[in-house]
């Protein structure tokens, strides 16, 4: 007679790849054929898919970056020092995310909450910077429909901004749920999953920053 | 389903003499009480059972097949004679656009998803999929997307830009109704279904195989589904970008595709076909998997060259990414690109040919049984080969330049789509019906079904080769006698033949629908193993219990079930089979070791709640009432939180008390029948 635990592991493991995750029924990591948990494998696949989403948006931007209206092109409008600082802030948030994950591994709840909150704050700073950047561009006359350059720029960076914002919501939700002990399943894994997502969004930003801001049009 | 979550009114019959105390459903983590019904509509709407979800996918997809089929009949009615008056030019455009979109996105993809949902866990010896709630969510997204797409018929007219919706032809000045907006957002929603479903199935296949089920012991159907899902994971995001850009273009005045604003109209074509070509394999590989199951069973031989079939499937999956521009030979890509894509396209014929050879050699020297399922599978081999051959003719770019946008293309892709996907699905229906519904479809009606469909499809699509080579353009809503020529190749005659064929085909489909009704009214229960099958899904009851297997079988062979029934005492290639056990004995041996306690994932309200917010968001965008979209988005966030806080399976404490130690098969637990 096989033991109930294995069977449970087969099916009872919870379904969460996409919103930050809620583990199984608390039974820890169930044995799976590959040894990776369902959630983690699912998250990796989701991120693989996201690569192509950003790939499509980046290609569109690269195609249209030169098609700007006069003096509102990439070379005139970008404020490189400002964006460099906000990019640095976002990169730092990856560091704090690592600290949160490692605290979760040690079951150090206090530090998990601390570092997740710091990560969320750094992320929020980045998004705030983006909002500021967009408004100042808009004031200079660069609306969403001004030129092909502006449409593709806003579409690309906007999508990224939405991803960061979703990440912030997930981080704060995890903090809240940890505080009220409302996470079904493996807490450390949930933190790790959010971490994977967060690092991915950061890496995408590095690509965007390089292609959009650093390479001259 | 969570076994504990029965209504408190139901008498509790514990498997042990001591009556178990009633366990109340968990509210500890969920926001609401969870659904508990095991019968009635609630048992379906809130289910997370992969089998119920599979059946719902199948039923909805079949419905859309009929809808799209009726649209095709209207098209053929319009073109049956000169100066047809059935459809106006405008409605004709909507008709072929919606016919194609519905067939591809609302029939073929979801039908494959339904079959995969139902069968993959059974074929790999799992009790459910990896993410049961996401699975349910995917189904509701597909349905919501289908509804949004088809709502356009009633709200000012459907999309009319053809299924690939070339830009700027489909931008507001040329397509002023909301049809294209419904199209873009409806398909966007249906895309979520494909993406989540793909992730779910990949994780299921990689992670939940029964002990001993190594990758190279997996049934070919499961393999082909795995390849298809990888294609979906990477193709869907590309079309998602295209749909977003299209929505920005139409609803928010961006100019991504307006040449007047300096845009490059080829951008859309590239994005569409980078998705679109892998898409054709997404449509056809599941059916390749099905015939690879059906042919061996009815030839009583193992699949010839299993590894070749698997690896050629994988090869098709890879090569499929490098050929998209063969849809754009006529768009002025330049000679180098054309040459590269033409060559790559020819290369893809190789793995496809490998499969056809393998199927043929599977039948070679076999003990063939011409059941309806087998007929459909053989039909696929023949008809798909015809479509594949005409396909190779357009990989030759100069010849394609002649053929593109003519009926020759329409002929080609119907031979591969109808002759490939649809015939394969029908083979699957006849083969797995007893597994899913416990009754075999009538073979007598099945034969009518098969022959009418085969004759009908060849009469419909065969003449289209002639029409196309004579120069009849596709998407042409009317023809006149003066311009149809004379003699044997006169367009009028062949158009009429094609239309008659379409109606014969429709009668064939009608036989199938009749067969379903007839079988469910009059059919006798199917035997346990009606076809002498080979794979794991048959080592369980028909239909399977909620938890699929009383005990998860241990696998030691490819074609495990067959090996439990027969011993091959032949030498070399000579098969000399000796029966060693009946299906009933195999099943009884498994059941004798049934697991005492099985916790199944619990039903949930959240998947349908979250999915239902998507059309709200979409309608807000289409009509520019953004507050509606915002409300929809907030509802969605709320739903996601509800979901996040609800455990997938009600916690252990909620399950029935202490494991039973009498060793009996008590997997039905307290929900005693
Ligand atoms: C039920 C039998 C079917 C009939 C009688 C039929 C008939 C037709 C006809 C006559 C057209 C050409 C319309 C035109 O160019 O003016 C067409 C287009 C098309 N059909 Fe079918 N069809 C059938 C099944 C299918 C299936 C099963 C699929 C896919 C799974 C499919 C996919 C398409 C596509 C992609 C187009 C191209 C539409 C466009 O030009 O945008 N059809 N069909
Ligand atoms: Cu193609």
In this structure, the answer to whether residues A52 and A86 fall within a common structural domain is yes
Question: How near does any CA of chain B get to the CA of A95, in Å?
Answer: 26
In this structure, the answer to whether residues A85 and A112 fall within a common structural domain is yes
Per-residue pLDDT averaged across A115-140, rounded? 96
CB contact under 8 A, B131 and A38: yes
Q: Is the pLDDT of residue B210 over 50?
A: yes
The domain segmentation of chain B, as residue ranges, is: 50-584+601-654
In this structure, the answer to whether residues A85 and A190 fall within a common structural domain is yes
Chain B contact for A176 (CB, 8 A cutoff): no
**B69 phi and psi angles, rounded to 5 deg:** -65, -40
pLDDT, tens digit (0-9, with 9 covering 90-100), for B572-590: 767 788 899 999 999 999 9
In this structure, the answer to whether residues A146 and A205 fall within a common structural domain is yes
In this structure, the answer to whether residues A15 and A44 fall within a common structural domain is no
In this structure, the answer to whether residues A164 and A91 fall within a common structural domain is yes
How many beta carbons lie within 10 A of that of residue A94, not counting itself?
Answer: 19
Please name which of B468, B353, B338 lies closest in space to residue B414, comparing C-alpha atoms: B468
This model of the complex carries an ipTM of 0.90
pLDDT, tens digit (0-9, with 9 covering 90-100), for A149-175: 999 999 999 999 999 999 999 999 999
Residues from chain A that touch B648, judged by Cβ atoms under 8 A, are 12-16, 22, 24-25, 184
pLDDT, tens digit (0-9, with 9 covering 90-100), for B597-646: 788 888 889 999 999 999 999 999 999 999 999 999 999 999 998 888 88
Residue of B199, B269, B324 to mutate, testing the A interface (most A Cβ within 10 Å of its Cβ):
B199
Domain count, chain A: 2
For B32, the token pair is 């609401």
Q: Is the pLDDT of residue A30 over 70?
A: no
Helix (H, G, I), strand (E, B) or coil at B16: coil
pLDDT, tens digit (0-9, with 9 covering 90-100), for B63-119: 999 999 999 999 999 999 999 999 999 999 999 999 999 999 999 999 999 999 999
> Residue A216's pLDDT band (boundaries 50, 70, 90)?
confident
DSSP-derived letter for residue B439 is B
HEC-encoded secondary structure of B52-112? HHHHHHHHHHHHHHHHHHHHHHHHHHHHCCCCCCCCCHHHHHHHHHHHHHHHHHHHHHHHH
pLDDT, tens digit (0-9, with 9 covering 90-100), for B264-280: 989 999 999 999 999 99
Please name which of B173, B187, B186, B166 lies closest in space to residue B250, comparing C-alpha atoms: B173
Per-residue pLDDT averaged across B361-376, rounded? 95
Spacing, Cα A124 to ligand 2 middle (Å)? 43
In this structure, the answer to whether residues A25 and A71 fall within a common structural domain is no
Q: Is the pLDDT of residue B656 over 80?
A: no
Superfamily of domain B50-584+601-654: Cytochrome c oxidase-like, subunit I domain (1.20.210.10)
What is the percentage of chain B residues whose pLDDT exceeds 70? 91
Q: Is the pLDDT of residue A79 over 50?
A: yes
What CATH number is associated with residue A113? 1.20.120.80
Per-residue pLDDT averaged across A102-127, rounded? 95
Cβ-count burial of B522 within 10 angstroms (0-12 exposed, 13-18 middle, 19+ buried)? Answer: exposed
The pLDDT of residue A4 is: 36
Radius of gyration in angstroms for the set of CA atoms belonging to chain A, rounded to a whole number: 20
Helix (H, G, I), strand (E, B) or coil at A140: coil
How many beta carbons lie within 10 A of that of residue B263, not counting itself?
Answer: 23
Residue with the bigger pLDDT between A91 and B663: it is A91
> Residue B538's pLDDT band (boundaries 50, 70, 90)?
very high
CB B587 within 8 A of CB B541: yes
Helix (H) or strand (E) holding B579: strand B577-579
What is the percentage of chain B residues whose pLDDT exceeds 90? 79
Least-confidence region, from A16-30, B201-215, B244-258:
A16-30
CB B298 within 8 A of CB B247: no
Q: Is the pLDDT of residue B3 over 70?
A: no
CB B175 within 8 A of CB B161: yes
The span from the CA of B342 to the CA of B328, in Å, is: 11
Chain B contact for A1 (CB, 8 A cutoff): yes
Spacing, Cα A66 to ligand 1 middle (Å)? 40
Q: What residues are in contact with ligand 1 under a 6 Å CB criterion?
A: B 69, 72, 75-76, 96-97, 99-100, 103-104, 108, 162-163, 410, 414, 417-418, 421-422, 460, 474-476, 502, 505
Per-residue pLDDT averaged across B434-447, rounded? 96
In this structure, the answer to whether residues A148 and A182 fall within a common structural domain is yes
In this structure, the answer to whether residues A171 and A202 fall within a common structural domain is yes
∠ CA B128-B132-B134, nearest 5°, is 150
The pLDDT of residue B108 is: 97
pLDDT, tens digit (0-9, with 9 covering 90-100), for B386-416: 999 999 898 888 888 889 999 999 999 999 9
In this structure, the answer to whether residues A10 and A46 fall within a common structural domain is no
Question: What's the pTM value of the predicted model, to 2 decimals?
Answer: 0.91
Residue ranges making up the domain that contains A191 = 32-214
How many beta carbons lie within 10 A of that of residue B481, not counting itself?
Answer: 12
CB contact under 8 A, A33 and B202: no
Q: Is the pLDDT of residue A187 over 70?
A: yes
Per-residue pLDDT averaged across B553-560, rounded? 93
In this structure, the answer to whether residues A146 and A73 fall within a common structural domain is yes
């Amino acid at each position: 007679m096989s033991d109930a635990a294995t069977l449970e592991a087969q099916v009872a493991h919870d379904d969460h790849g996409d919103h930050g995750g809620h583990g199984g029924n608390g039974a820890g990591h169930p044995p799976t054929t590959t040894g990776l948990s369902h959630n983690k494998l699912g998250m990796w696949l989701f991120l693989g898919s996201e690569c192509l989403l950003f790939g499509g948006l980046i290609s569109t931007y690269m195609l249209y970056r030169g098609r700007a209206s006069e003096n509102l092109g990439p070379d005139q409008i970008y404020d490189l020092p400002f964006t460099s600082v906000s990019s640095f802030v976002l990169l730092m948030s990856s560091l704090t995310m690592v600290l949160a994950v490692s605290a979760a591994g040690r079951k150090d709840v206090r530090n998990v909450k601390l570092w997740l909150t710091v990560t969320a704050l750094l992320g929020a700073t980045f998004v705030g910077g983006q909002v500021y950047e967009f408004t100042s561009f808009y004031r200079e006359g660069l609306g969403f429909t001004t030129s092909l350059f502006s449409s593709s720029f806003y579409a690309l960076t906007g999508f990224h901004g939405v991803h960061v914002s979703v990440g912030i919501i997930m981080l704060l939700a995890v903090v809240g749920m940890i505080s009220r002990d409302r996470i079904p399943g493996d807490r450390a894994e949930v933190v790790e999953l959010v971490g994977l997502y967060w690092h991915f969004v950061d890496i995408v930003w590095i690509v965007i920053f390089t292609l959009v801001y650093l390479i001259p049009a | 389903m969570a076994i504990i979550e029965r209504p408190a009114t139901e008498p509790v019959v514990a498997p042990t003499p001591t009556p178990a105390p009633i366990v109340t459903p968990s509210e500890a983590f969920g926001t609401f009480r969870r659904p508990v019904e095991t019968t009635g509509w609630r048992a379906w709407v809130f289910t997370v059972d992969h089998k119920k979800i599979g059946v719902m996918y199948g039923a909805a997809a079949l419905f859309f097949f009929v809808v799209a089929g009726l649209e095709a009949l209207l098209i053929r009615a319009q073109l049956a004679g000169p100066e047809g008056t059935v459809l106006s030019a405008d409605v004709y455009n909507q008709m072929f656009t919606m016919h194609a979109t519905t067939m591809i996105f609302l029939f073929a993809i979801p039908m494959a998803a339904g079959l995969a949902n139902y069968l993959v866990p059974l074929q790999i010896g799992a009790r459910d999929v990896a993410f049961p709630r996401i699975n349910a969510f995917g189904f509701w997204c597909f349905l919501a997307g289908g509804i949004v797409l088809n709502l356009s018929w009633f709200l000012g007219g459907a999309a009319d830009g053809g299924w690939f919706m070339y830009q700027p032809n489909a931008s507001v000045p040329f397509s002023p109704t909301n049809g294209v907006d419904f199209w873009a957002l409806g398909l966007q929603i249906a895309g979520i279904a494909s993406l989540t479903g793909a992730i779910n199935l990949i994780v299921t296949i990689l992670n939940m195989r029964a002990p001993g089920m190594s990758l190279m012991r997996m049934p070919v159907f499961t393999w082909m589904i795995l390849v298809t899902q990888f294609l979906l994971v990477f193709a869907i995001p590309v079309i998602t970008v295209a749909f977003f850009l299209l929505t920005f273009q139409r609803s928010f005045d961006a100019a991504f595709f307006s040449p007047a604003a300096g845009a490059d109209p080829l951008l859309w074509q590239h994005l569409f076909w980078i998705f679109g070509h892998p898409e054709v394999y997404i449509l056809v590989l599941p059916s390749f998997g099905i015939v690879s199951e059906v042919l061996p069973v009815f030839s009583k031989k193992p699949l010839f060259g299993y590894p070749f079939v698997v690896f050629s499937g994988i090869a098709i999956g890879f090569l499929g990414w490098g050929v998209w521009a063969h849809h754009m030979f006529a768009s002025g890509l330049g000679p180098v690109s054309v040459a590269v894509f033409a060559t790559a396209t020819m290369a893809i014929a190789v793995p496809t040919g490998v499969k056809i050879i393998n199927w043929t050699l599977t039948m070679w020297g076999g003990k063939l049984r011409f059941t309806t399922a087998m007929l459909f599978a053989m039909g696929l081999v023949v008809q798909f080969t015809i479509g594949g051959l005409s396909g190779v003719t357009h990989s030759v770019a100069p010849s394609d330049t002649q053929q593109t946008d003519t009926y020759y293309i329409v002929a080609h892709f119907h031979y591969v789509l109808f002759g490939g996907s649809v015939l394969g699905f029908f083979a699957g229906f006849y083969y797995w019906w007893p597994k899913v519904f416990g009754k075999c479809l009538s073979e007598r009606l099945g034969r009518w079904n098969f022959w009418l469909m085969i004759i009908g499809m060849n009469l419909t699509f065969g003449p289209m080769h002639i029409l196309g080579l004579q120069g009849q353009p596709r998407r042409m809503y009317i023809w006149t006698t003066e311009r149809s020529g004379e003699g044997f190749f006169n367009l009028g005659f062949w158009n009429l033949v094609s239309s008659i064929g379409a109606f014969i085909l429709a009668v064939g489909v009608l036989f199938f629908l009749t067969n379903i009704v007839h079988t469910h009214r009059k059919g006798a229960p199917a035997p346990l193993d009606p076809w002498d099958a080979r794979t794991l899904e048959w080592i369980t009851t028909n239909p399977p219990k909620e938890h699929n297997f009383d005990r998860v079988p241990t696998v030691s062979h490819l074609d495990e079930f067959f090996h439990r029934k027969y011993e091959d005492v032949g030498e070399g290639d000579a098969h000399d089979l000796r029966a060693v056990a009946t299906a009933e004995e195999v099943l009884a041996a498994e059941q004798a070791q049934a697991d005492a306690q099985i916790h199944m994932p619990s039903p949930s309200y959240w998947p349908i709640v979250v999915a239902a917010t998507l059309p709200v968001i979409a309608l807000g965008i289409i009509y520019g009432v953004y507050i509606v979209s915002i409300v929809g988005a907030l509802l969605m966030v709320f739903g996601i939180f509800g979901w996040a806080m609800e455990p997938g399976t009600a916690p252990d404490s909620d399950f029935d008390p202490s494991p039973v130690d009498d060793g009996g098969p008590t997997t039905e637990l307290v929900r005693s029948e």
